Amino acid sequence: DAIAQNMNFIQENRADAVLILSGDHIYKMDYRAMIDFHHERGADLTIAVMPVPLEDTHRFGIMQVDDNQNIVQFYEKPKERDKGNLASMGIYIFSTHMLAKRLAEHSNETPRTDFGQHVIPAMLSAGDKVVAYKFEGYWVDVGTIDSYWNTNLALLQPEPALDLYTDQWPIHTKSEERPAAKVGS
How do residues 86-119 score in pLDDT, each as one tens digit?
999 999 999 988 888 888 887 666 556 678 888 8
Asked whether the predicted pLDDT for residue 38 surpasses 80, the reply is: yes
CATH-assigned architecture of domain 2-145: Alpha-Beta Complex (3.90)
**Cα(45)–Cα(119) distance, rounded to whole angstroms?**
10
pLDDT at 113: 67
Q: What is the pTM of this model?
A: 0.86
pLDDT at 164: 85
Mean pLDDT for the stretch of residues 83-88: 94
Strands 86-95 and 71-76: unpaired
pLDDT at 41: 97
pLDDT at 152: 94
Helix (H, G, I), strand (E, B) or coil at 133: strand
**Cα(99)–Cα(7) distance, rounded to whole angstroms?**
9
Burial class (CB in 10 A: 0-12, 13-18, 19+), 44: buried
How do residues 119-178 score in pLDDT, each as one tens digit?
899 999 999 999 999 999 999 999 899 999 999 999 999 999 998 888 888 888 888 888
Region of poorest pLDDT, from 3-7, 66-70, 75-79, 116-120: 3-7
Asked whether the predicted pLDDT for residue 2 surpasses 80, the reply is: no
Mean pLDDT for the stretch of residues 32-54: 97
pLDDT at 110: 59
The backbone torsions φ and ψ at residue 5, rounded to the nearest 5 degrees and listed phi first, read -70, -20
Q: Give the residue among 93, 89, 88 at the shortest CA–CA distance from 20.
A: 93
- Please state the domain extents for the chain: 2-145
